[in-house]
Amino acid sequence: MVPLKLEATELVELLKMNKAIMVLPFITLASLLMVSACITTPPQNALIIEEEHFLAAKQPEVSTLSIKAAKQPEIDCMGAQPGDEIYMLYQWSGQEEQRLLEILQPLSDACGIMLVPESTRDQNMLDTRVSEGNPPDVAFWNAAQLVQFEDLLIPMTDLGAHADNYRDFFKDPGIVNGNWLGLPVKVDVKSIIWYSPDVFRIKGYEVPSTWDEMTALVEQMASNGDVPWSMGFESDDATGWAGTDFIQDILLVMQGPDFVNGLISEAVPYNHPGVADAYAIYGAWAKDARYTVDGANGTVSTNFVDAIYRVFEDPPAAMMVKQSGFASGEIETKFDDLAYGTGYDFFPVPGLQGIQGGVDWMMAFSDSPAVHSLVAYLSSDLGGINWARAGFDNTPNLAGTGKYTREDLNKRGDMLAMTTGFTPDIGDNILGFGPAEFDGITDFIKGEELQVVLNRLAAAQANAFNQE
pLDDT in tens, 95-141: 999 999 999 999 999 999 999 999 999 999 999 999 999 999 999 99
Choose among 123, 72, 66: nearest CA to 98.
66
Q: So what's the pLDDT on residue 283?
A: 98
Task: Give residue 468's pLDDT band: very low, low, confident or very high (50, 70, 90).
Answer: low
| Tens digits of residue pLDDT in 92-107 | 999 999 999 999 999 9
What single-letter DSSP state applies at residue 165? G
The total of other beta-carbon atoms located within 10 Å of residue 244's CB is: 22
The pLDDT score that the predictor gives to residue 72 is 46
Q: How far apart are CA 36 and CA 52, in angstroms?
A: 26
Name which of 395, 329, 435, 5 is nearest 167 in CA terms. 395
Q: Which of 240, 203, 246 is nearest to 225 (CA)?
A: 203
Three-state DSSP state, 228: coil
- Please give the average per-residue pLDDT across 39-43, as a whole number: 35
Q: Which H helix or E strand runs over 28?
A: none
Whole-number CA gyration radius for the chain: 24
Q: What angle do CA 23, 28, 31 make, to 5 degrees?
A: 125
Residue 466 has pLDDT above 80, yes or no: yes
> What type of residue is 91?
Q
pLDDT, one tens digit per residue, over 284-339 is: 999 999 999 999 999 999 999 999 999 999 999 999 999 999 999 999 999 999 99
The mean of the pLDDT values for the chain is 87
| % of the chain exceeding 70 in pLDDT | 84
Q: What's residue 428's pLDDT? A: 87
pLDDT at 24: 35
Which of left, alpha, beta for 124 (phi over 0: left; psi -120 to 50: alpha)? alpha
Residues 4 and 33 sit within 8 Å (Cβ to Cβ): no
Number of Cβ atoms within 10 Å of the Cβ of 185 = 23
Is pTM, for the whole model, over 0.85?
no
What is 192-353+430-467's CATH number? 3.40.190.10
Band of residue 208 on the pLDDT scale cut at 50, 70, 90:
very high
**3-state DSSP call for residue 440?**
helix
Q: pLDDT at residue 190 above 50?
A: yes
Query: What is the per-residue pLDDT across 213-254, written as a single tens digit (0 to 9) for each?
Result: 999 999 999 999 999 999 999 999 999 999 999 999 999 999
Taking the C-alpha atoms of residue 138 and residue 85, their distance in angstroms, rounded to an integer, is 11
Q: H/E element holding 84?
A: none
pLDDT tens profile 336-369: 999 999 999 999 999 999 999 999 999 999 999 9
Q: What is the pLDDT of residue 1?
A: 36
Do strands 85-90 and 63-67 pair parallel, antiparallel, or not at all (unpaired)?
A: unpaired
**High-pLDDT (> 90) share of the chain, %:** 82
Topology alike, domains 49-189+357-423 and 192-353+430-467:
yes
Percent helix, strand and coil across the chain, each to the nearest 5: 50, 15, 35
How large is the angle between the packed helices 273-286 and 241-254, nearest 10 degrees? 120
φ/ψ of residue 17, rounded to 5: -70, -25
Domain 49-189+357-423: give its CATH architecture: 3-Layer(aba) Sandwich (3.40)
**Quick check: 442 and 231 in contact, CB under 8 A?**
no
CA atoms of 12 and 16, how far apart (whole Å):
6
User: If DSSP codes are grouped into helix, strand and coil, which group holds residue 262?
Assistant: helix
Region 4-33: mean pLDDT is: 37
Arithmetic mean of pLDDT, 417-424? 94
Backbone angles phi, psi at 138, to 5 degrees: -140, 150
Work out the number of other CB atoms within 10 angstroms of the CB of residue 138.
26
DSSP 8-state class, residue 210: S
With H, G, I as helix, E, B as strand and everything else as coil, classify residue 78. Answer: coil
50-82 pLDDT, tens per residue?
333 333 333 443 333 445 443 444 899 999 999
Residue 9 has pLDDT above 90, yes or no: no
Predicted pLDDT at 14: 38
pLDDT at 266: 87
The domain spans of the chain are 8-38, 49-189+357-423, 192-353+430-467
Question: What is the CB-side half-sphere exposure of residue 200 using CA atoms within 13 A?
Answer: 19
Of 335, 377, 350, 345, the closest CA to residue 160 belongs to 377
> Confidence band (pLDDT; 50, 70, 90) for 393?
very high
